[in-house]
Amino acid sequence: MIVGEENVLLWYVIYARDRENSLDDRLSARPAHLERLVELQNVGRLLVAGPRPAIDAADPGPAGFSGSLVIARFESLEAARTWADADPYVMAGVYESVEVSPFKRVLP
């Protein structure tokens, strides 16, 4: 929150690492995960979101993914962490770790 301004949404980065052999769980939880991201997008709070392929390929196939990245606006770091903790991928055990930190957007 910026001093003197109320209801300011700041940018936060959510950087998650998948646990090994989580591809099946990731695929099962994907529709619910995407639904939450679309909600953020619909209210203008999502800058970017996507998976990080485990290999250098747009479609990693059975190699799966090494994690995910989300950059979105939230009221506070606590709000961003709360949102990240409620992610369907977290609930399904896809991630071995999730890091949430402030992000200062410079470009574009």
The amino acid that residue 40 corresponds to is L
d(CA 27, CA 106): 33
pLDDT-based confidence at residue 108 (cuts at 50, 70, 90): confident
For every residue of 12-48, DSSP letters joined together read EEEEEEEPTT-HHHHHHHHHHHHHHHHHHHHTT-EEE
pLDDT in tens, 22-35: 999 999 999 999 99
